[in-house]
Homo-oligomer: A and B are copies of this chain.
């Protein structure tokens, strides 16, 4: 089975000191940023799944940019792969900004590889995404979905109440135009912030420290997400002569949160031993969840 366990290998490669030489990348223009922003905007929640969340859309958006940056086929494939991993954020504040930031970091990486310099590592790109996606999602959901959307709806609601179709069309159009516009602005902003950061990183000679720091942040955020997104609890209760035994309650006195953690750690160890065989992991996990839940064990 053709699994993407090269990701794990490429990771190792990126830490050795002999970076691969690749052809010079093309320059990233505003048009490219617009293409990427539009790609993300369009694909946004189309391929939403529980285990990758919005990563496919993120990768979809980056395709044109990555093709300009990585003329080397292998590197292009690896870039595709690394942007297909678990990713979730809000569309404009999160996705716009991170599209820009990611393109700038990929550009710096591609350039360094072309020049035979020590490139920004995949880790750094991943951890930056992972560290920022959560808080930006919170901000974006609150503002876009929670406020901007309902402001427009509230303004035009009286039209609808009177039976006028503008009460439906205008909120939609206003929301679509407003968010598309500032989302693109965030993309450009992210790109220029990312460029500045990339330059700072590559000249500052503090790369190792920054990678570690981003690793801390990334793993920390994964811990928080695991605590908040994964929802596995035991529904298993049994009653013997009127005395009820509630497994989840017993688990709570032992270690609250033990089931979600176990799931993550089992998968982590599986990948650790077998390489990053995501599809298999998905099959096993789904199978286990279905089996356990059919019998109401979870």
Contacts and interface: CB of A to CB of B under 8 A. Distances in A.
B245 A147 contact: yes
Copy total for this chain: 3
A157 interface: yes
Interface string A117-148: 00000000000000000010011011100110
Interface in A218-253: 240-243, 245, 250, 253
A254 B154 contact: no
Contact of A154 (B155, B241, B250): B241
B253 A155 contact: no
Contacts of A138: 253-254
A135 B154 CA distance: 49
Contacts of A66: none
Contact of A254 (B143, B250, B254): B143
Contact of A250 (B147, B153, B240, B253): B147
Given A139-B254, A254-B139, A241 B146 contact: no
Contacts of A154: 240-243
Contact of A142 (B143, B243, B250): B250
Label chain A's interface by main secondary structure.
helix
A153 B138 CA distance: 50
Interface string A141-176: 111001100110111011000000000000000000
Interface residues of A, number: 24
25 contacts: A135-B255, A138-B253, A138-B254, A139-B254, A139-B255, A141-B253, A142-B250, A142-B253, A143-B254, A146-B250, A146-B253, A147-B245, A147-B250, A150-B243, A151-B245, A153-B243, A154-B240, A154-B241, A154-B242, A154-B243, A155-B240, A155-B241, A157-B241, A157-B243, A158-B241
Interface of A: 135, 138-139, 141-143, 146-147, 150-151, 153-155, 157-158, 240-243, 245, 250, 253-255
